[in-house]
Homo-oligomer: A and B are copies of this chain.
Amino acid sequence: MDLLPTHVTRYESNRAERVRITAKSPWTHVWTEWTAKIWGGGAARTSSDALGAPGSWWLEVLVMFCSAKTGGSLAVWREERESGSPRIEPPGAVSPAKRQIKEVKETKTTINCVTFPLPGEGPEQQLLKPDEWSYCDYFWADKKDPQGATSLPGFEVLLQKQLKGKQMQKEMSEFVHERIKIEEEYAKNLSKLSLSPLAAQEEGTLGEAWTQLKKSLHDEAEVHLKFANKLHTEVEKPLLTFRGDNFKKDLKKYDHHIADLRKQLASRFASVEKARKALADRQKDLDLKTQQLEVKLSNKTEEDIKKARRKSTQAGDDLMRCVDLYNQTQSKWFEEMVTTNMELEKLEVERIEWIQQHLRQYTTLRHETDMFNQSTVEPVDQLLQNVDPSKDRELWVKENKTGDVRPVDMDI
């Protein structure tokens, strides 16, 4: 019994891609026409995304036949635009028993409750933000722990990076603190030495130059103290207090929010699995009863089969609902992932730029310090230039002369 849709037309309605399908019921052999909503691949936001992908698109249509509301069967019809020819997987060609989901080719896989297309299956996915190496494009799968079975959601990897970033700024702050201590020690030593009485007895212009040389050490000390103080207020402290405690709380909020959505997804997935099993059971029962009727193996009446069919249909409806709920939850998780990852990306950009800015402040202070330090030598240079042995002799002789009257010959 072929299930060959003879015609599929795409059209839009209510912002969703729909198809009109004409196909022959395997039971009544009556050609029917109906419309179905497209569950596209690609971005789950809107089916049209997938269908809008340039180059090729694919369309997977779940067709359920209900013939006079007596039952249904499932078929999957797939079409690739460029290939032109539809690839059709006829369901259960020989016996109804084979009309199971197994006959549908596997094109997707669900890992840790998240559903991905298998490699090579489905239309090529374009990056949401091409050429940007954006967080929202690269962290969909969970990271496998190389040793064990545990895995870390991609989101957690991003979150940990932000936490590590906080650690980095703290360590940078400590480094600057250590630099400050070194500067303060240096300043203290220079200041102490500047008070030394060594060669304090040197007088005159040379003495002045020497005194200024000693004083210049104190000036240097002041420069380094100023450097230390500015390092503290303009680099160390900001690095320490940037993104205070609230930051970690915010990250935790993100963490819990996304984790909750994953839990919901897991729960929905469990429901799908359960519904899938229930449907399989119902299908199996229906097939069995149908076989039995054909070979007149039992006294089962058509009434029994109708009941089995009803249960089968019910199970099919349940499954559809569960899958629908699952996909909604996955969509929600998807949206929140994109939003939050973009937020984390922005935070990282801000972190890098903020640190860059403050490290530049460090280098600015270093430049300043070296310049101020240079200027402490200038008065010394000036006075050294003024050193004048003649002037010093004059000053000293005026102070220390013993007598300028020269000896004369003695008289008799």
Pick from B140, B157, B171, B374: contact of A406, CB under 8 Å: B140
Report B-chain residues with C-beta under 8 Å of the C-beta of A79: none
Pick from B125, B142, B209, B349: contact of A356, CB under 8 Å: B209
Q: Tell me, rounded to whole Å, the shortest Cβ–Cβ distance linking A134 to chain B.
A: 8
Pick from B135, B404, B412: contact of A397, CB under 8 Å: B135
Q: Tell me, rounded to whole Å, the shortest Cβ–Cβ distance linking A326 to chain B.
A: 6
Bound: A356/B384 CA distance, A? 6
Q: Tell me, rounded to whole Å, the shortest Cβ–Cβ distance linking A261 to chain B.
A: 12
Binds B, one of A7-15, A181-189, A249-257: A181-189
A93 interface residue per 8 A CB criterion: no
A206 interface residue per 8 A CB criterion: yes
Q: Tell me, rounded to whole Å, the shortest Cβ–Cβ distance linking A219 to chain B.
A: 11
Residue of B with least CB distance to A119:
B405
Pick from B42, B143, B348, B360: contact of A384, CB under 8 Å: B360
CB of B174 within 8 A of CB of A403, answer no
Binary contact track A388-410/B, C-beta < 8 Å → 1, others 0: 01101110111011111111111
A294 interface residue per 8 A CB criterion: no
Q: Tell me, rounded to whole Å, the shortest Cβ–Cβ distance linking A272 to chain B.
A: 7
This protein's copies in its complex? 2
Bound: A396/B352 CA distance, A? 13
Binds B, one of A19-27, A282-290, A300-308, A362-370: A362-370
Pick from B334, B390, B397, B407: contact of A334, CB under 8 Å: B407
Binary contact track A252-289/B, C-beta < 8 Å → 1, others 0: 00000000000000000000100000000000000000
Bound: A384/B26 CA distance, A? 71
A96 interface residue per 8 A CB criterion: no
Bound: A76/B411 CA distance, A? 10
A137 interface residue per 8 A CB criterion: yes
Q: Tell me, rounded to whole Å, the shortest Cβ–Cβ distance linking A115 to chain B.
A: 4
A6 interface residue per 8 A CB criterion: no
Binds B, one of A80-88, A192-200, A240-248: A192-200
Instruction: Say whether, besides A373-B370, A393-B345, A396-B161, A327 and B410 are in contact (CB < 8 Å).
Output: yes
A97 interface residue per 8 A CB criterion: no
Bound: A345/B3 CA distance, A? 125
Residue of B with least CB distance to A186:
B186
A117 interface residue per 8 A CB criterion: yes
Bound: A328/B168 CA distance, A? 91
CB of A116 within 8 A of CB of B405, answer yes
Bound: A202/B239 CA distance, A? 14
CB of A108 within 8 A of CB of B377, answer no
A91 interface residue per 8 A CB criterion: no
Instruction: Say whether, besides A161-B396, A412-B320, A198 and B179 are in contact (CB < 8 Å).
Output: no
Instruction: Say whether, besides A182-B186, A356-B206, A402-B154, A108 and B139 are in contact (CB < 8 Å).
Output: no
List 10 A–B pairs whose Cβ atoms lie within 8 Å, in order of A's numbering. A42-B408, A44-B407, A132-B393, A135-B397, A140-B406, A185-B189, A209-B359, A348-B393, A353-B389, A363-B380
Q: Known pairs A39-B409, A116-B408, A363-B380; list 19 more (Cβ under 8 Å).
A: A42-B408, A60-B411, A125-B404, A125-B406, A135-B397, A141-B402, A167-B201, A168-B201, A168-B202, A169-B199, A178-B193, A182-B186, A206-B352, A323-B409, A334-B407, A353-B389, A356-B384, A359-B380, A367-B374
Q: A residues bordering B, Cβ < 8 Å?
A: 39-44, 60, 62, 74, 76, 101, 104, 107-108, 110, 114-117, 122, 125, 127-128, 132-135, 137-143, 152-154, 157, 161, 164, 167-169, 171-172, 174-175, 178-179, 182, 185-186, 189-190, 193, 196, 198-199, 201-202, 206, 209-210, 213-214, 217, 272, 316, 319-320, 323, 326-327, 330-331, 334, 345, 348-349, 352-353, 355-356, 359-360, 362-363, 366-367, 370-371, 373-374, 377, 380-381, 384, 387, 389-390, 392-394, 396-398, 400-412
